[in-house]
Amino acid sequence: MITRTADLLENPVRPNAWGSATEIPRLLGLEPTGRPQAELWMGAHPAAPSRLRSGGTLAERIEEDPTGELSPLVIRHFGTRLPFLMKIIAAERPLSLQAHPNLQQARAGYAAEQQRGVPISSPERSYVDPNHKPELIYPLTQFEALCGFRRIDATLRLLTELAGAAPALTKYVEALRARPDPEGLREVVTGLLTVPANRRRQLVDAVVAACAAGSAEFPAEYATGVQLGEAYPGDPGVVIALLLNRMTLQPGQAMFLAAGNMHCYLHGTAVEVMANSDNVLRGGLTGKHVDVPELLRVVDVADGPAPLMVPKEQGPGHTAYRPPMPDFRLDTYALTETPAEMGLAGPRIVLTVAGTAVVQVGPQTLTLPRGASAWLPAGLAATVAGSGELVVATTNL
């Protein structure tokens, strides 16, 4: 008979070049290695599953008893896979300009690459799994980001101002003025991402030089253009970035990115919760595989403000961030000596991001200092007390 118990997790770190060398080691209480440590993965994605302190991976444990670990409800909605993935991301420099597919696009793209025989490990692969990848970002430090296309009237003002010093932008201004709607914006985005190589560097250099002159209305955007232009000279993603909402988030705020949202994280450390996928369609600002045709196929060009989330108070010190989909949600607990009920029936990954949490799961007591995490199977009643803050990823059913 299989006995379901909570278990401590040991989580893999991904050393992407954009990562901070210090923030994830600081969270985990470890000495920095001197190399970038960009992402700490907590979950059961086949590319980097968490290991259980008792042995084996979380993916193997779920495979052994999916109904017991996930619950019949989760099985009905998602099958026998854990539907969410949680990460700590620590960005020292900008990530790639990117968007993620919806479920139908992911399944079709994955099947097409499988049929063509593109190895999963190939750097030219765009779809590494058949799942969508909406995501929620919850900052632990001040977090700088570009997210979604800003309102077209503001973008027209910005491009018109830049075109005075970068005349190559004039045709894009005229195109958007002639059709100031999402399809006009799509025309501009497509044109910028497909500028012929022999004209690309000249265009980007002119735009970056115009940004360096500064702007009264768009100071943060222009400064970001200079920053990205220095990091990625000649990359048209620098110009696309100027069309996006420039965001500064503080701890306690959160943002939801639906499928198709064009975005680029610039700097900061955050909890990221998403559907259990690693599908990324990149359009620039990276040395990795850039798939402009596929990015243009999935990107959502709707304009408007960035999608900040409104938290829902669940009880004293307990807040929930619930996106408009069933795959995942994020709960946060401001810990005190009084135990708080963790009234969530589904499977959970818990992580202490400040102080020390004491999680009581039936007869089990898990003491989780900052940076420690644990797996709680579905259906196990739990309480948490301590000091600091605990975050919990679970399903949103």
Say whether pLDDT at 13 is over 60.
yes
pLDDT of residue 3: 60
pLDDT of residue 307: 87
Check if the beta carbon of residue 151 is closer than 8 Å to that of residue 244.
no
Considering the chain, what is the average pLDDT of its residues? 95
pLDDT tens digit sequence for 301-357: 999 998 899 999 999 999 999 999 999 999 999 999 999 999 767 899 999 999 999
Alpha helices in 117-218 (DSSP H): 152-163, 170-178, 182-193, 197-212
Band of pLDDT at residue 82, cut at 50, 70 and 90: very high
Alpha helices in 29-65 (DSSP H): 58-64
Question: Torsions phi, psi of 84, nearest 5?
Answer: -125, 165
Say whether pLDDT at 1 is over 60.
no
> Which residue has 């401590």 as its token pair?
8
HSE toward the beta carbon, residue 11, CA cutoff 13 A: 31
Picking from 68, 134, 81, the residue whose alpha carbon sits closest to that of residue 275 is 134
For the chain, the C-alpha Rg in angstroms (whole number) is: 22
- pLDDT (average), residues 49-53: 97
352 DSSP β-pair partners: 390
- pLDDT (average), residues 21-43: 96
CA distance 160 to 155: 8
pLDDT of residue 75: 96
pLDDT tens digit sequence for 175-211: 999 999 999 999 999 999 999 988 999 999 999 999 9
Residue % of the chain over a pLDDT of 70: 99
CA distance 158 to 140: 31
Q: Is 107 a catalytic residue?
A: no
Domains of the chain as residue ranges with CATH: 12-41+82-146+249-293 (2.60.120.10), 151-242 (no CATH), 320-394 (2.60.120.10)
- Burial class from Cβ neighbours inside 10 Å (0-12, 13-18, 19+) for residue 329 reads buried
3-state SS, residue 72:
helix
Q: Side chain identity at 23, as an amino acid letter?
A: E
Question: Torsions phi, psi of 216, nearest 5?
Answer: -75, -35
- pLDDT (average), residues 234-254: 95
Band of pLDDT at residue 4, cut at 50, 70 and 90: confident
pLDDT tens digit sequence for 64-81: 999 999 999 999 999 999
Say whether pLDDT at 111 is over 90.
yes
Catalytic residue among 282, 322, 348, 370: 282
Say whether pLDDT at 259 is over 90.
yes
- pLDDT (average), residues 120-128: 92
